[in-house]
Amino acid sequence: MQVFLPLEPLQLKIVPYNAVMARTLTKSRSPQGARLAELRKAAHLSQAALGRLIGEKQQNIAFWEQSDKPPRSDVLPKLARVLGVSVEQLLDVNSPIGRRNGPVGKVRKLFEDVSELPRRQQEKVVEFVSALVEQYKRQAS
C-alpha cells in the first residue's frame, strides 16, 4: 500500500496591478486613435466603461484607439454623445479637447435614460436625487 503525503501549499505572492505593469504600445497610435483615447480619458472612462455605455466590447474600443480605422458609422453618434462632443469633433484630430460640461460616464447615461421616462417619474427621480445631494452637502459642511 502506498501512502501519499500532501505537498506543502504553494506560496504565491500576490502583487496588486499598477501602472508599471501596463502594456506599452509597440507602435505609435494613429492621430484618430490618439484622439479617441484622449477624449475617453478626458471623460474619466476606462475602455471597458466606454464599451458598456455604447454597447460595444472593450476590445473594440482598444482596436479603434490603436488602429488607423475609425469606429463604424453606427457607433460614431453613440461615442460622440457619451464623450460629450459632436461627431465632427470626434473625427477632427486637430480640434482642441476641452472640459466637458455636465455629468460624466455612468451618471450622464443614467440621466439620459431618465429623460426618456414619463414626466411624473422624472420628477420622482429628481426629487430623490435632490434629497441625496442636499443630505451630502449638509454632512460635508
Q: Would you list the DSSP string of 13-69?
A: PP----GGGSPPPSSPPPHHHHHHHHHHHHTT--HHHHHHHHT--HHHHHHHHHSSS
Full-model pTM:
0.53
Share of the chain above pLDDT 90, in %: 20
User: Which top CATH class is 26-101?
Assistant: mainly alpha
- Mean pLDDT calculated for residue range 85-96: 84
Cell 435614460 -> residue? 113
Pinpoint the residues of the chain covered by CATH 1.10.260.40.
26-101
* Res. 78 pLDDT band, cuts 50 70 90: very high
Structure confidence at residue 56 (pLDDT): 93
93 in Cβ contact with 35 (< 8 Å): yes
